């Protein structure tokens, strides 16, 4: 039986003075491995994760690949649509959408001016690519997030399971999402960044849908029950309409988060303004990076104002005194 | 009066807590509410409730907050499930019913008016009024006429297109009543329907309800914490305290014969001259001696005293629909004005 100090002394190759109390090493895997090779170093542990992942990679691919293929198609089609359609059609269409959801001439003018400004400094295509990715990803976030939120609001158990997952998705550094995805798909596939953006941006819409439905006035729900509404009538006739302001606030947050992620996703071949920012960093082209960053700020303001204005419109038509 | 019994509650218990069944055993073995709370952390909500609700009458369930009255009314349409007991509606125990039957009960047989109105804020007044019909699957175009008729009846004829938040509290509750009436249900449950309103508006609403009841003869269960309101509306008054019924009877009878000191205290501050009616204290048969005049069966004592100008030696003939049915003497009226106190209580004031 050797003491810890002897073990460490042996590991140091029998140097004359052993460790003092001051620089006593923590008995970590690597330290123990030096003393006794039977104990694996911690790189073996991360190797284990790698080979484990590689072992299930094939199976995971056969399941996830076809499931997510529509995302690639949608992204490709939307990118094609937004960049190949002539600017004199795209800009009026965007203005028309703004008018429909906000009914505000000021915002329509704002949309025109900001896009014209970006186009004038030759960032039009990049901006449209970024917008295309955001439209597709935010749409899918809402498509998946609202039903998940509704299901969570109806079952406390599901809520207890989902909330930690949402917390994790929200706190993981965005780059970390990319690591397993790079192994799973080839870097040229659009769904790679699509999935990363959706995972990152879906959190607020799920959370706020759940919250919104849970916050619906209990008295009103009781009245709906007392008049014999079915669960379905209650959901579509009472809960969703009354939760709509909160759901829309979630959609706004989701759009803003997709915009943040789309820049990071340019590391894995997402086109758009993010690529220019990346070029600015990689080849130290200060101007290119800053101007593209400024373009992202403009898009952010634009998306935020438009969604907030449509939210305000829902709020007033739905106000509770 | 032998009216049909529309709904009745039989041996109803409600216990709140983790294991109500076990707690029920203990309550049936004689454990009281404070003990139960202390020993097993269960709340005894309702204890052995038996109430008959007669057709075409207003049954008022009265109690202070925490007495279990709101819990009780929610058992009638099973918004709350009892721990034990039966709830019979038209002779059938609704606790045996499955979801679809229960839904039909809520859609067609019972409607409810809430303390906080509980209108749908995103629907117009008209759509709210037709809520029961819309829930049954009737299109707006088809229920519009019916809904408008009842809005008109509660005095909100022109407000159909507005949203609830544009109306005052009193008007919102009128919509609540119109909503219950539009469902054309036989039974109306009113849970502290007027408690959130200003006193003046509350009086208006009480009169509106009595007026509607004169015409429609619904079976109404009305919950309140206000004794004046209870006495004004009730055909049958149920007094609830700490989850049990302590007395139920015609309100006049409760005033004249309170069952225990709790009720005596309760009714002590009531203006008895205005609430008590000649019929409750008259003696039957022809009056002895000479009479000073005639009074109706349903006149209150206040009006008789006014008629007698305070003199105590008068005697009146009592008429029902113009035919003499008995007599009442001033001393009897004066006696009835003094609340009966149990012997232990007399020293208190």
- By mean pLDDT, which of B66-80, B163-177, B326-340 is the weakest? B326-340
Q: Can you tell me the distance from the alpha carbon of B197 to that of B173, in angstroms, rounded to the nearest whole number?
A: 9
- At A92, phi and psi to the nearest 5? -60, -35
B289 close to B315: Cβ distance less than 8 angstroms: yes
Of A186-190, A233-237, B14-18, B44-48, the poorest mean pLDDT is in: A186-190
Query: In the prediction, which pLDDT does A320 show?
Result: 46
In the block, residue with structure tokens 């898009």: A299
Query: Across residues B201-214, what is the average pLDDT?
Result: 92
Are B114 and A319 inside 8 Å of each other by CB?
Answer: no
ipTM confidence score: 0.84
Which residue of chain B is at minimal alpha-carbon distance from A229? B135
Question: How far, in Å, CA of B210 to CA of B288, rounded?
Answer: 37
- Per the structure block, which two tokens stand in for B168? 């005052």
Residues in chain B: 349
Which stretch of DSSP H or E encloses residue A203?
Answer: helix A190-214
Chain B residue numbers with beta carbons less than 8 Å from the beta carbon of A227 are: 106-107, 111-112, 131-132, 135, 183
Q: What mean pLDDT, rounded, does chain B reach?
A: 88
Determine the 3-state secondary structure of B177 from DSSP: helix
What integer is the mean pLDDT of B56-85? Answer: 91
| Distance between CA atoms of residues B172 and B114, nearest Å | 11
Upper half-sphere CA count for residue A182 (Cβ side, 13 Å): 12
Q: Which two tokens stand for residue A109?
A: 């003018």
Average pLDDT, integer, range A113-128: 94
At A9 the pLDDT is 57
Pairing relationship of beta strands B283-284 and B323-329 according to DSSP bridges:
antiparallel
Quick one: B279 exposed, middle or buried, by C-beta within 10 A (0-12, 13-18, 19+)? middle
Does residue A15 surpass a pLDDT of 60?
no
Q: Which residue has the higher pLDDT, A52 or A6?
A: A52
Residues of A in contact with B77 (CB under 8 A): 226
The reply to whether residue B114 touches residue A222, judged by beta carbons under 8 angstroms, is yes
Among A221, A222, A224, A226, most B C-beta atoms within 10 A, so best to mutate, is A226
Q: What angle, rounded to 10 degrees, do the helices at B20-28 and B33-40 form?
A: 140
Instruction: Please report the DSSP string for B8-30 in residue order.
Output: EEEEEEEEESS-HHHHHHHHHTT
* Alpha-carbon span B219 to B207, nearest angstrom: 17
Of chain A, the percentage scoring pLDDT greater than 90 comes to 63
Report the predicted TM-score, pTM, of the whole model to 2 decimal places.
Answer: 0.82
Choose from B75, B121, B131 for mutation: most chain A CBs within 10 A: B121
Give the Cα separation of B213 and B206 in Å (integer). Answer: 10
Q: Encode pLDDT of A40-99 as tens digits.
A: 888 888 899 889 988 888 888 889 888 999 999 999 999 999 999 999 999 999 999 999
């Amino acid at each position: 039986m050797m003491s810890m100090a002897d073990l460490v002394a042996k590991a140091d190759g029998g140097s004359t003075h052993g460790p003092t109390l001051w620089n006593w090493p923590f008995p970590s895997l690597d330290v123990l491995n030096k003393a006794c090779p039977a104990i694996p170093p911690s790189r073996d542990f991360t190797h284990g994760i790698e080979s484990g992942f590689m072992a299930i990679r094939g199976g995971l691919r056969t399941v996830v690949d076809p499931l997510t293929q529509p995302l690639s198609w949608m992204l490709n089609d939307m990118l094609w649509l937004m960049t190949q359609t002539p600017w004199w059609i795209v800009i009026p269409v965007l203005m028309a959408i703004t008018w429909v959801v906000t009914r505000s001439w000021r915002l329509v003018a704002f949309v025109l001016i900001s896009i014209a400004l970006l186009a004038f400094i030759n960032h039009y295509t990049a901006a449209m690519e970024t917008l295309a990715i955001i439209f597709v990803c935010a749409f899918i976030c809402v498509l998946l997030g609202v039903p998940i939120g509704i299901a969570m609001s109806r079952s406390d158990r599901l809520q207890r399971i989902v909330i930690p997952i949402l917390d994790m998705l929200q706190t993981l550094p965005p780059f970390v999402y990319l690591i397993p995805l790079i192994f799973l798909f080839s870097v040229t596939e659009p769904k790679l960044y699509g999935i990363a953006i959706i995972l990152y941006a879906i959190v607020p819409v799920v959370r706020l849908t759940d919250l919104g439905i849970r916050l619906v006035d209990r008295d009103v729900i009781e009245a709906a029950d007392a008049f014999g509404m079915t669960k379905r009538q209650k959901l579509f006739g009472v809960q969703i309409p009354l939760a709509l302001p909160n759901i829309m606030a979630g959609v706004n947050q989701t759009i803003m988060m997709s915009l943040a992620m789309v820049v990071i996703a340019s590391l894995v071949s997402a086109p758009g303004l993010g690529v220019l920012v990346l070029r600015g960093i990689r080849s130290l082209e200060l101007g290119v990076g800053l101007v593209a960053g400024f373009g992202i700020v403009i898009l952010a303001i634009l998306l935020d104002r438009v969604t907030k204005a449509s939210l305000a419109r829902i709020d007033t038509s739905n106000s509770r005194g | 009066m032998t009216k049909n019994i529309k709904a009745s509650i039989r041996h109803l218990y409600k216990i709140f807590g983790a294991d109500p069944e076990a707690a029920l055993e203990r309550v049936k073995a004689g454990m009281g509410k404070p003990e139960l709370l202390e020993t097993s952390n269960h709340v005894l909500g309702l204890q052995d409730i038996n109430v008959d609700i007669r057709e075409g009458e207003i049954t008022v369930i009265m109690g202070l907050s925490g007495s279990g009255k709101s819990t009780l009314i929610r058992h009638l349409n099973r918004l709350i499930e009892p721990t034990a007991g039966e709830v019979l509606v038209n002779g059938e125990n609704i606790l045996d019913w499955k979801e679809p039957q229960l839904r039909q009960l809520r859609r067609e047989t019972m409607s409810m008016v809430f303390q906080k109105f509980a209108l749908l804020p995103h629907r117009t007044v008209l759509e709210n009024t037709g809520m029961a019909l819309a829930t049954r699957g009737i299109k707006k175009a088809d229920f519009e006429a019916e809904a408008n008729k009842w809005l008109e009846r509660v005095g909100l004829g022109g407000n159909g297109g507005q949203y609830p938040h544009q109306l005052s509290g009193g008007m919102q509750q009128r919509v609540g009543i119109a909503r219950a009436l539009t469902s054309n249900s036989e039974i109306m449950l009113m849970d502290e329907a007027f408690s959130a309103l200003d006193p003046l508006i509350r009086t208006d609403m009480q009169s509106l309800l009595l007026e509607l009841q004169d015409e429609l003869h619904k079976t109404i269960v009305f919950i309140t914490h206000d004794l004046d309101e209870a006495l004004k509306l009730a055909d049958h008054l149920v007094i609830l305290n700490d989850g049990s019924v302590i007395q139920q009877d015609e309100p006049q009878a409760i005033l004249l014969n309170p069952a225990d000191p709790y009720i005596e205290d309760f009714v002590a501050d009531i203006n008895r001259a205005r609430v008590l009616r000649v019929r409750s204290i008259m003696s039957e048969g022809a009056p002895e001696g000479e009479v000073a005049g005639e009074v109706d069966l349903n006149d209150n004592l206040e009006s008789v005293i006014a008629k007698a100008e305070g003199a105590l030696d008068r005697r009146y003939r009592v008429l029902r629909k113009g035919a003499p049915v008995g007599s009442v003497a001033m001393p009897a009226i004066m006696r009835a004005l003094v609340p009966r106190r149990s012997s232990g209580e007399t020293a208190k004031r």
